[in-house]
Amino acid sequence: MKVKLTPEVKSALAKKKPVVALESTIIAHGMPFPQNLEMARKVEKVIRSEGAVPATIAVIDGALRAGLTDKELERFAKEGPGILKVSTRDLPLVVAKKLNGATTVASTMRIAAMAGIHVFATGGIGGVHRGAEKTFDVSADLIEFSKSNVAVVTAGAKSILDLALTLEVLETQGVPVVGFGTDEFPAFFSRQSGHRLTLRADTAKEVAAMMRAKWAMGLSGGMVIANPIPAEHEIPAVQIAPYIERAIAEANAKGIHGKDVTPFLLKRITEITEGRSLTANLQLVLYNARIAAQIAKEFARSSKK
């Protein structure tokens, strides 16, 4: 099955120009309107300012899409939770029934890889949920990293998760977790998590070289490019931790589970922090987009040699 590309994305890929994939769940389910639309537009603008082409991934009327028009971005932002949150397991349903779907990290990776896009910017990846030893709640994002050849620039795994177990699963799957300018795995809102990394890159060129080396050896699967939130926008772990614990307790009390957990927790934390966490979320996404565009440029440059 082919991915439907916008003329801009199709031209860029044909000419081997840099393209950066973006997910649509962060628009429909990650932030409230109109902040989500403002974020989507700003992210695309940042990517273009770095000389790359943005390709927001989604499913529209059953068609896999790479690149959305401004009207389509606005539609996803306004309809929000009314649009299905689609992971890889859900793709056959939305395609067969010709539905609309907002793609998660996992399904965005899969569609991006199908389209030939190898760099993807997001906020935070999914991971192993707290209490997974009882619930077995492990995000499909981690499994997809072992399958799709896409480097994902992220501010780490969402701090609502069990970061230690998340890193263990990534290691088991053979997924490189590369600290971008850091030796420590970032924790989404916070620059530090207490978990050291063994891999580090300080420039976009170094990341692109790792990508090319990995796939040239036949080592399939993606890479996590762990890019800490800018210092001026972070919420230190010691400050955000009590808010996360409170939100998790509320989710448990309400019986919220599965793919509904993350949207509930992020919304509740935004409320508890009086919008501070939303501001941090916006800033880290923009920064990830900028770094992803730089990596895409270096990867495209090396592809032409």
pLDDT of res. 304: 67
pLDDT of res. 305: 63
What residues does each domain of the chain span?
4-303
Mean pLDDT of the chain: 94
- Which residue matches tokens 């809102």? 189
* Distance spanning both ends of the chain, measured CA to CA: 30
The torsion angles phi and psi of 116, rounded to 5 degrees, stand at 90, 25
Which of 10, 17, 85, 158 is the catalytic position?
Answer: 158
168 assigned to active site: no
Residue 227 pLDDT class (50, 70, 90 cuts): very high
Which of 10, 17, 23, 214 is the catalytic position?
Answer: 23
Q: Which residue stretches of 98-236 are H helix?
A: 105-115, 132-135, 140-144, 163-172, 204-216
pLDDT of res. 7: 97
C-alpha 87/C-alpha 83 separation (Å) is 13
Looking at residues 40-51, what average pLDDT do you find? 98
pLDDT of res. 6: 97
Q: Which residue stretches of 161-236 are H helix?
A: 163-172, 204-216
**Residue 285 contacts residue 123 (beta carbons within 8 Å):** yes
Per CATH, the number for 4-303 is 3.40.1790.10
Residue 23 pLDDT class (50, 70, 90 cuts): very high
Interhelix angle 35-49/70-79, rounded to 10 degrees, is 150
Query: For residue 10, how many other CB atoms are within 10 A of its CB?
Result: 18
pLDDT of res. 303: 75
pLDDT of res. 63: 98
For residue 161, the one-letter residue type is L
Render pLDDT for 83-130 as a digit per residue (tens, 0 to 9): 999 999 999 999 999 999 999 999 999 999 999 999 999 999 999 988
- Shortest CA distance to 266 belongs to which of 22, 28, 20? 28
Looking at residues 260-284, what average pLDDT do you find? 89
Percentage of the chain with pLDDT > 90? 85
- Two tokens, residue 10: 């199709």
pLDDT of res. 257: 79
Residue 220 pLDDT class (50, 70, 90 cuts): very high
3-state secondary structure of 155: coil
Residue 210 pLDDT class (50, 70, 90 cuts): very high
**Residue 233 contacts residue 276 (beta carbons within 8 Å):** no
Q: Which residue stretches of the chain are H helix?
A: 7-14, 25-28, 35-49, 70-79, 91-96, 105-115, 132-135, 140-144, 163-172, 204-216, 237-254, 261-272, 276-303
Residue 17 pLDDT class (50, 70, 90 cuts): very high
Inform me whether the pLDDT recorded for 133 exceeds 70: yes
pLDDT of res. 196: 97
158 assigned to active site: yes
In Å, how far from its chain's centre is CA 267? 17
